[in-house]
């Protein structure tokens, strides 16, 4: 058994797990005890509050046995046993990441080279086969998007896709929304415009975490979908201009939608959202929905706009984008807090009918975690 060492008169424990030395605080260990008096069997919820644990809690005894790591906490006289694998998976004694904008290991940033191996699955396979569903959800978690083929071309199709992992998020645009282009030679000039890549609805609290866009009909030429990894854009910006990156992360932008009677959606959020530990949480970029920025100090506004412009230029960089044409029966899903979507110009007459719906990330990640646990 690996050596155990009490530190600071039992305020912490040093333990070697799988060859790595880790320190754990007594208060952390006691709070995370897995016994039936601390955690409810079945639901796994904590049954005690922090006030039930004396502030002077320390480890009085530590020993290994076949069952795991035994600890005795005083002054409670509480004995608990830890599974070393459980502890190793939750070890926190590691240097914190220094570079702002870091992402978890489950995320892979990408650029145009992803075009050679775009994540794609078949609707019926995903609906019927748990392994295919797991693969599909894992790709969305990793790349922030995936394509789906074999999707019904009936009204409401995207909601059937949302049901495979979670729940539709209804908004003022409805349960589903239509993106229609009826293009004839007379009005071609007005409807064939491309659409700059953006994230949807940054004026909501919170912006939808997922968007599904299904193609129900498409007889036009052009109008290809374009996707860009906003996390890659943020990383490029940070490399080119750490100050610009910091400005877009530090100051909030404002977004709003007031285009419908009775709807006044407004949100104050940064374009690059970082957690307090520098983790990249979300990207918001939507030229059409940007309101006047009023939260950037006068001294920083010029540099803020320069960084905003730099970000916009990266978003136009073809080396970062993937494009593909959605045919009827195809759908893509994007992580709307990460991946930007846009549309190339439509170059012929015809009909194009896309239908979208929103959902949230938590249900997708929950379904993925449950499927992975089941398969382990
Ligand atoms: Fe959009």
Q: Quote the pLDDT of residue 295.
A: 98
| Domain ranges within the chain, ordered by starting residue | 4-89, 112-375
Cα end-to-end distance, the chain, whole Å: 27
What the block records as the tokens of 64 is: 């290994």
Residue range 84-125, pLDDT digits in tens: 999 999 999 988 878 999 999 999 999 999 999 999 999 999
Residue 1: pLDDT band with limits 50, 70, 90 = low
Residue range 74-87, pLDDT digits in tens: 999 999 999 999 99
Distance, CA of 163 to chain centre? 19
Q: Cα of 336 to ligand 1 centre, how many Å?
A: 9
Pairing of strands 145-149, 120-122: parallel
Handedness of CA 226, 229, 234, 236 (dihedral sign): negative
> For residues 331 and 151, is the Cβ–Cβ distance under 8 A?
yes
Residue range 303-362, pLDDT digits in tens: 999 999 999 999 999 999 999 999 999 999 999 999 999 999 888 888 889 999 999 999
Q: Which residues contact 288 (CB under 8 A, 6 or more apart)?
A: 198
Residue with tokens 């600071």: 8
Q: Quote the pLDDT of residue 189.
A: 44
| Section 26-48 average pLDDT | 95
Residue 372 DSSP symbol: H
> For residues 174 and 213, is the Cβ–Cβ distance under 8 A?
no
Q: Quote the pLDDT of residue 96.
A: 82
Whether the pLDDT of residue 182 is over 80: the answer is no
Q: Cα of 166 to ligand 1 centre, how many Å?
A: 21
Whether the pLDDT of residue 185 is over 60: the answer is no
Q: Cα of 330 to ligand 1 centre, how many Å?
A: 17
Q: Quote the pLDDT of residue 184.
A: 63
Report in angstroms the alpha-carbon separations of 131 from 124, 126, 136, 293, 368: 12, 8, 9, 46, 11
Number of helices and strands in the chain (H, E): 10, 21
In this structure, the number of other CB atoms found within 10 A of the CB of residue 41 comes to 9
Residue range 142-171, pLDDT digits in tens: 999 999 999 999 999 999 999 999 999 999
Residue range 214-239, pLDDT digits in tens: 999 999 988 999 999 999 999 999 99
The whole-angstrom separation of Cα 73 and Cα 37 is 14
Q: Quote the pLDDT of residue 188.
A: 45
Q: Cα of 53 to ligand 1 centre, how many Å?
A: 50
Residue range 258-303, pLDDT digits in tens: 988 999 999 999 999 999 999 999 999 999 999 999 999 999 999 9
Q: Which residues contact 275 (CB under 8 A, 6 or more apart)?
A: 281
Q: Quote the pLDDT of residue 190.
A: 45
Which residues, listed in sequence order, are joined to residue 78 by a DSSP beta bridge? Answer: 73
The whole-angstrom separation of Cα 218 and Cα 353 is 6
Residue with tokens 């908004």: 171
| Section 11-34 average pLDDT | 96
Q: Quote the pLDDT of residue 97.
A: 79
Q: How many residues does the chain have?
A: 376
The whole-angstrom separation of Cα 209 and Cα 157 is 19
The whole-angstrom separation of Cα 191 and Cα 345 is 9
Q: Cα of 316 to ligand 1 centre, how many Å?
A: 16
What the block records as the tokens of 184 is: 């004839």
Whether the pLDDT of residue 50 is over 90: the answer is yes
DSSP 27-46: HHHHHT--STTTB-TTT--B
Residue 192: pLDDT band with limits 50, 70, 90 = low
Q: Cα of 340 to ligand 1 centre, how many Å?
A: 8
Q: Cα of 201 to ligand 1 centre, how many Å?
A: 8
Q: Quote the pLDDT of residue 350.
A: 86
The whole-angstrom separation of Cα 190 and Cα 255 is 25
112-375: what fold? Double-stranded beta-helix (3.60.130)
Q: Quote the pLDDT of residue 305.
A: 98
> Is the overall model pTM greater than 0.85, yes or no?
yes
The whole-angstrom separation of Cα 180 and Cα 307 is 34
Q: Cα of 341 to ligand 1 centre, how many Å?
A: 6
Which residues, listed in sequence order, are joined to residue 269 by a DSSP beta bridge? Answer: 253
Q: Cα of 197 to ligand 1 centre, how many Å?
A: 8
Residue 171 DSSP symbol: B
> For residues 224 and 242, is the Cβ–Cβ distance under 8 A?
no
Q: Cα of 343 to ligand 1 centre, how many Å?
A: 9
Under CATH, to which class is 4-89 assigned?
A: alpha beta
Distance, CA of 323 to chain centre? 21
Helices (H), the chain: 26-31, 84-89, 123-128, 130-143, 157-162, 188-191, 230-240, 242-250, 298-315, 361-375
Residue 186: pLDDT band with limits 50, 70, 90 = low
For the chain, what percent of residues have pLDDT higher than 90?
A: 89
Question: What SS3 class is residue 264?
Answer: coil
Q: Cα of 369 to ligand 1 centre, how many Å?
A: 28
Q: Cα of 9 to ligand 1 centre, how many Å?
A: 58
Q: Quote the pLDDT of residue 134.
A: 98
């Amino acid at each position: 058994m690996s050596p155990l060492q009490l530190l600071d008169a039992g305020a912490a424990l040093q333990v070697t797990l799988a060859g790595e030395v880790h320190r754990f605080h007594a208060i952390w260990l006691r709070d995370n005890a897995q016994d039936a008096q601390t955690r409810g069997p079945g639901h796994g919820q904590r049954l005690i509050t922090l006030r039930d644990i004396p502030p002077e809690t320390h480890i009085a005894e530590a020993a290994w046995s076949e069952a795991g790591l035994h600890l005795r906490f005083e002054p409670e006289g509480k004995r608990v046993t830890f599974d070393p694998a459980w502890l190793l998976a939750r070890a926190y004694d590691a240097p914190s990441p220094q570079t702002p904008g870091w992402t978890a290991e489950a995320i892979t940033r990408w650029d145009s080279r992803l075009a050679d191996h775009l994540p794609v699955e078949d609707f019926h396979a995903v609906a019927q086969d748990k392994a295919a569903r797991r693969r599909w959800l894992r790709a969305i978690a990793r790349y922030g998007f995936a394509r789906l083929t074999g999707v019904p071309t009936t009204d409401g199709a995207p909601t059937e896709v949302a049901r495979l992992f979670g729940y539709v998020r209804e908004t003022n645009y409805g349960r589903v929304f239509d993106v229609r282009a009826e293009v004839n030679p007379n009005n071609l000039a007005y409807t064939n415009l491309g659409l700059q890549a953006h994230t949807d609805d940054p004026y909501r609290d919170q912006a939808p975490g997922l968007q599904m866009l299904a193609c129900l009909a498409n007889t036009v030429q052009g109008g290809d979908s374009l996707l860009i990894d906003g996390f890659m854009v943020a990383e490029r910006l940070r490399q080119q201009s750490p100050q610009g990156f910091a400005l877009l992360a530090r100051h909030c932008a404002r977004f709003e939608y007031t285009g419908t009677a009775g709807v006044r959606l407004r949100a104050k959020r940064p374009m690059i959202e970082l957690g307090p530990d520098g983790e990249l949480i979300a990207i918001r970029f939507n030229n059409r929905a940007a309101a006047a920025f009023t939260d950037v100090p006068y001294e920083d506004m010029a540099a803020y706009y320069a960084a905003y412009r730099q970000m916009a230029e990266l978003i136009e960089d073809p080396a970062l984008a993937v494009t593909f044409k959605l045919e009827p029966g195809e759908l893509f899903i994007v992580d709307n807090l990460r991946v930007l979507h846009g549309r190339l110009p439509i170059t012929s007459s015809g009909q194009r009918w896309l239908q979208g719906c929103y959902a949230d990330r938590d249900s997708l990640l929950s379904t993925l975690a449950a499927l992975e646990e089941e398969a382990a």
